[in-house]
Amino acid sequence: MQQLIHSRYFNRWFVVVGAVMIQLALGAIYAWSVFTALLTDPQGPYAFSASQTAWIFSAGLATFAVVMVLAGRWQAKVGPMRVALLGGLVLGAGYALAGLFGDNFWMQFVFIGLVGGAGIGLAYVVPIAVGIKWFPDKKGVITGLAVAGFGFGATIWVKLADTWFGGLLNTTSLFGLPGVQSVFFIYGLIFAALVVLGSLVMVNPPPNYRPAGWTPPATSAAQPSGAVDVEPQAMLRTRQFYLLWTLFIFSALSGLMVIYCIRLFGIDALAYHGIADAALVTGTAMAWYAIFNGVGRIAWGTVSDRIGRRQSIILMMTLQGVVMLTLYHGFIFLGSAAGFILAASFIGFNFGGNFALFPAATADFFGNKNVGRNYGYVFTAYGIAGIAGPQLAGWFKDAAAGASGPIFWMAPFIIAGSLCLLGAALAAFVRPAEPKLAPA
């Protein structure tokens, strides 16, 4: 394959196709909410608490973020294809093993949370790093395209488990396993196949590659003047890194909280309004959230190429903060199924922007050369948010056991929305790395 990239038969858009295939599988973690109602059913075979299902989700997100640091360093040494390939096999094994042995909390915590999360962490950084190197002329939009499959994939896995063809959760019982475990096993095989196929085109461009007819600009809105190639060790000594890292936590927390609780909150709130078919409405909202999550990655990446990364982060976090602060009150007092789906879609759209803006901002502020390694460290913020967001919602849900009405959901939405607005204010101080830093 490395020889093929020097031939006229290799088109750089092949990398985008492979990236989308990989990300479709990695979006599995965002489908977790489709399982939570069955896992927390006190009359079902699992009877997990809301906090337990939140811990499985949080473990997956945190492991994803930590392993991504290692993957960014490893792919720079052994090449991106091998790292992506291993990620697909680990992810598939995690879900397949959870299907076979995940009849209790600890087995699901290990296989879905730790093993599955590690597989996602290994594969996730590869399409981003490879894509930015092949498309230095379109960093924002190509990063959005490269990770859009993550959001779209979640839609597929939610609907396939929930309603398409009768819903795999309702129609399968492989090896005599309950529906949840049967779906885990099926998904494990599918995820491994998708990532392995996509990894075949995950190869770096030739040294000093430039797209035909493109000359690197001295300065632009998307590539601020003064940005240099910085090694991770030097990056970690800058205040710019810690500010960008904090913004990522604040921005991601709200979206991850909603991914976890959208079904639980939706059922409580819809029932409060007497809306029938609450489970069907929340399933539809989950699917639209995931679709707009994918659309948002492309849209925000495209916008940021035009107006700049910092301005885009400020705008995205402001919009997200406003909708999080108004969602609870707006829906509880003026609730409708359509309003719930619309709000979920808007949150998903803004949340998706994180995964186009922050890797592109990392490349802008610390250079393209080490973006695979540098973004791994920035992405640890996602792991923090992945613990804080779901646990915030799960704690309030469990603490309100037996309470009537959905008022206990108000506090987590206010906290998450306020952090988004605080982040928007802090984003005004983000700047590229100083030229005095030693280049890589």
Confidence of residue 99 (pLDDT cuts 50, 70, 90): very high
Least confidently predicted of 40-44, 91-95, 245-249, 331-335: 331-335
CA-to-CA distance for 428 and 433, rounded, in angstroms? Answer: 15
pLDDT at residue 51 is higher than 90: no
CA 370 and chain centroid, separation: 21
The structure tokens 């879609």 sit at 345
Domains and CATH numbers, the chain: 12-207+228-429 (1.20.1250.20)
pLDDT at residue 34 is higher than 80: yes
Reduced to 3 states, what is the DSSP secondary structure of residue 230? strand
pLDDT tens for 192-202 read 999 999 999 99
Q: Taking each helix axis from N to C terminus, what angle separates 309-334 and 278-307, rounded to the nearest 10 degrees?
A: 160
The structure tokens 């879905």 sit at 112
Q: Is the model more confident about 436 or about 262? A: 262
pLDDT at residue 249 is higher than 70: yes
For the segment 262-288, the average pLDDT, to the nearest whole number, is 78
CA-to-CA distance for 47 and 432, rounded, in angstroms? Answer: 49
pLDDT at residue 103 is higher than 70: yes
Least confidently predicted of 60-74, 337-351, 390-404: 390-404
Q: What percent of the chain has pLDDT over 90?
A: 24
* Range with top average pLDDT, 7-16, 169-178, 346-355: 346-355
Q: 20 with 145: CB under 8 angstroms?
A: yes
Q: 390 with 246: CB under 8 angstroms?
A: no
pLDDT of 18 reads 92
pLDDT of 8 reads 54
Confidence of residue 145 (pLDDT cuts 50, 70, 90): confident
pLDDT of 225 reads 43
pLDDT tens for 278-287 read 778 887 887 7
pLDDT tens for 349-405 read 998 899 889 988 888 888 877 777 888 889 889 888 888 888 887 777 777 666 666
For the segment 50-67, the average pLDDT, to the nearest whole number, is 88
Least confidently predicted of 178-182, 183-187, 339-343: 339-343
pLDDT of 107 reads 95
Confidence of residue 218 (pLDDT cuts 50, 70, 90): low
- Candidates 133, 326, 366, 61; CA nearest to 236 is 366
The set of residues, in sequence order, having a beta carbon less than 8 Å from that of 113 and lying 6+ positions away, is 55, 56, 57, 58, 59, 60, 63
For the segment 36-63, the average pLDDT, to the nearest whole number, is 88
Confidence of residue 231 (pLDDT cuts 50, 70, 90): confident
pLDDT of 129 reads 82
Torsion of CA 101, 104, 105, 106, to 10 degrees: -50
Q: Is the model more confident about 390 or about 247? A: 247
Which amino acid does the sequence have at 173?
S
CA-to-CA distance for 366 and 284, rounded, in angstroms? Answer: 40
pLDDT of 422 reads 94
Confidence of residue 221 (pLDDT cuts 50, 70, 90): very low
pLDDT of 182 reads 94
pLDDT of 432 reads 65
User: Mean pLDDT, the chain, as a whole number?
Assistant: 83
Reduced to 3 states, what is the DSSP secondary structure of residue 48? coil
Distances (CA, A) of 207 to 195, 265, 369: 26, 51, 11
Confidence of residue 77 (pLDDT cuts 50, 70, 90): confident
pLDDT at residue 246 is higher than 90: yes
Task: For residue 158, count other CB atoms closer than 10 A to its CB.
Answer: 28
For the segment 212-219, the average pLDDT, to the nearest whole number, is 66
Q: 203 with 79: CB under 8 angstroms?
A: yes
CA 319 and chain centroid, separation: 19
pLDDT of 222 reads 43
Q: Which two tokens stand for residue 8?
A: 């006229």
Letter string b/e over residues 224-255, b meaning 16 or more CB atoms within 10 A of that residue's CB:
beebbbbbbebbeebebbebbbbbbbbbbbbb
CA 32 and chain centroid, separation: 12
Q: Is the model more confident about 399 or about 61? A: 61
Q: 154 with 32: CB under 8 angstroms?
A: no
The structure tokens 């819809």 sit at 270
For the segment 17-43, the average pLDDT, to the nearest whole number, is 88
pLDDT of 407 reads 73
pLDDT of 224 reads 47
Confidence of residue 332 (pLDDT cuts 50, 70, 90): low
Confidence of residue 309 (pLDDT cuts 50, 70, 90): confident
pLDDT of 433 reads 56
Confidence of residue 269 (pLDDT cuts 50, 70, 90): confident
